[in-house]
Amino acid sequence: MKKKTEKSNKKHKGLKVFGCIVLVLVLFFATINIIPPKKNLEENPFVLKEGQPTMIAAHRGGGDINPENTLLAFKEAVLTHKVDIVESDIYMTKDGYLVFNHDSYIDETCNVNGDISYEEMESLIEDESKRHYIADMTLEELQQYNFGYYFEDENGQRIYKDVENFKDIGLQRATADQLFEFFYESHPDLMFILEIKNEGEEGKKACKIFYDMLKERFPNYLDQIVVGTFKDEIGEELKENYPDLLDGAAPYKAAQFVLTQYLGVNLFDNSSFSTLQIPVSYDIGFDLNLVSKSLVKRAHKRNIAVQYWTINDPDEMRTLIELGADCLMTDNPKLMREILEEYK
């Protein structure tokens, strides 16, 4: 009988200890989620103000409706479709100009290889040594080519393939200073999401050219531009030497932020970025759904803007607008403008 009583007491004591541990954990998680997190920055123009509709970011200028990264695309996105944000990637030419292009080479978007079919071109660039890299070309050399050459309209027609006055139309590759200069006076509230693609010393040089250009010629745009990079050393360069530029979350920092939010330990996230740029899901062996109102709310507590990419489906646009996303990056700003009109 005595042994049974001792055994019962031990079991009871074990349950009490377990209960205490559970209670401590519950209180711990409750406390860290009650404590208001420190804001990443006090003022963030990329976070929606009350009553403001989700912002439209023209991905590469809106590559579904105009030849991507051309002056034509950027102008139509802003002037016709009234986008809030222009999004693109930046590369530096051989002579130090910053141009917009998605890849380090230009073969897939222009007639640099002459009058050949898209199929011939794809076959040609499989050999990396035959590609035409921006870093090996001067701006003057780059501007010889028609960057609407392979563009197809909604009917599948290559409407700019044979145009002779392509520069008058705006089908040359756009430079950063051209874009800023064109909109600086007429659209002082225009914002930008830009990514510096060069790495190493070339990337650091591109950072300096970019920052000096803004500071000297377009200072009012300084706090309306988010600059991102996939290169760790360029991210450190921007943070250390150009801290007044807003930064977007690098992929691993975005993943870290999402993970801490989903685990409820967001107080331990020490990120400092201004914008969380994410797809609707991450592939981590399975699809981790990122379409989460909780994620958006937690980001907003830190004054971080949540921007989803690249959203071209109308139903997906509606879902994310209703979720409270600050911005959708889209190849079709015309479509998103039409969707936003529904909510008026």
Each residue of 276-292: pLDDT tens digit? 999 999 887 778 899 99
pLDDT band at 15 (very low <50, low <70, confident <90, very high): low
Q: What is the pLDDT of residue 30?
A: 47
Class of residue 268 by CB neighbours under 10 A (exposed 0-12, middle 13-18, buried 19+): exposed
Listed in sequence order, the residues at least 6 apart from 9 whose beta carbon sits closer than 8 Å to its beta carbon are none
How many Å from the N-terminal Cα to the C-terminal Cα in the chain? 77
What type of residue sits at position 89?
D
3-state SS, 85-103, equals: EEEEEEEECCCCCEEECCC
Q: What is the pLDDT of residue 254?
A: 85
Residue 32 predicted with pLDDT over 70: no
Structure tokens of 288?
Answer: 């981790």
Radius of gyration of the chain (CA): 25
Task: Give me the domains of the chain, ranges plus CATH numbers.
Answer: 55-342 (3.20.20.190)
| Average pLDDT in the chain | 89
Residue 5 predicted with pLDDT over 70: no
Least reliable range by pLDDT among 13-17, 86-90, 246-250:
13-17
Each residue of 308-329: pLDDT tens digit? 999 999 999 999 999 999 999 9
Strand partners, 59: 87
Least reliable range by pLDDT among 133-142, 179-188, 280-289:
280-289
Strand partners, 248: 275
Each residue of 48-80: pLDDT tens digit? 999 999 999 999 999 999 999 999 999 999 999
Each residue of 206-215: pLDDT tens digit? 999 999 999 9
Residue 88 predicted with pLDDT over 80: yes
Distance in angstroms (rounded) separating the CA atoms of residues 138 and 321: 42
